[in-house]
Amino acid sequence: MVYAFREAFYDAWAPWHDLTASMRAANDGASGSGGEFARATLVGTEIFDRMTRRWEKPEFGLFDTIIDGEPVTVTVETAAERPFAKLLHFRREAARSDPRVLLLPPMSGHFATLTRGTIEGLLPHHDVYVMDWANARDVPLSAGTFDLDDYIEYVTDLVQVIGPAVHVIGICQAAVPALAAVT
């Protein structure tokens, strides 16, 4: 129900979104001219755009890392898949037995790619796995509901997929279910 309303909201505002985008394009580079009203109008169109835009998931863009001063290729592989999430493995092309880490990003309408900097920092010294949550609007109703118990079960199951001695990092709201899953 909520997602149907949200989709209707985006569809209803689409013509206005296109209009404000064309207004910004027509005035590109002119934000310093035209007076206070013109500047306020451009700011208003940008705010409107940000509120009504469908944000697509960006790529992680992590293709390599530096290990012991040498560049090492990184590939992202799906290690496991569930209706509400994928377990991504950032496989490094290096024969190392570094500690395994499961990174649990927040599940609050953001994309796991927001943790890109954290993943990048972990890669040189850790075997990194990331829980990549699905956008709830893309999960069919037939997949059922998803609550805290399901979240904890996902983490518990995927820790088993990774194997023993996994370090789990829960970022923000993910800290509580991470703690429940590993204790």
Q: Tell me what pLDDT residue 2 has.
A: 64
Q: What is the pLDDT of residues 146-156, one digit of tens each?
A: 889 998 999 99
Other CB atoms within 10 Å distance of the CB of residue 172 = 12
Q: Tell me what pLDDT residue 12 has.
A: 80
Q: What is the pLDDT of residues 125-134, one digit of tens each?
A: 999 999 998 8
DSSP secondary structure code for residue 165 in this structure: S
Q: Are strands 85-92 and 127-133 parallel, antiparallel or unpaired?
A: antiparallel
Characterize 92-124 residue by residue with b for buried, 16 or more Cβ atoms within 10 angstroms of its Cβ, and e for exposed: beeeeeeebbbbbbbbeeebbbebbebbbebbe
Q: Which stretches of the chain drop beneath a pLDDT of 70?
A: 1-3, 28-34, 109
Please give the domain boundaries of the chain with CATH numbers for all domains. Answer: 2-52 (no CATH), 64-182 (3.40.50.1820)
In the structure, how many helices (H) and strands (E) does the chain have? 5, 6
Q: Tell me what pLDDT residue 109 has.
A: 66
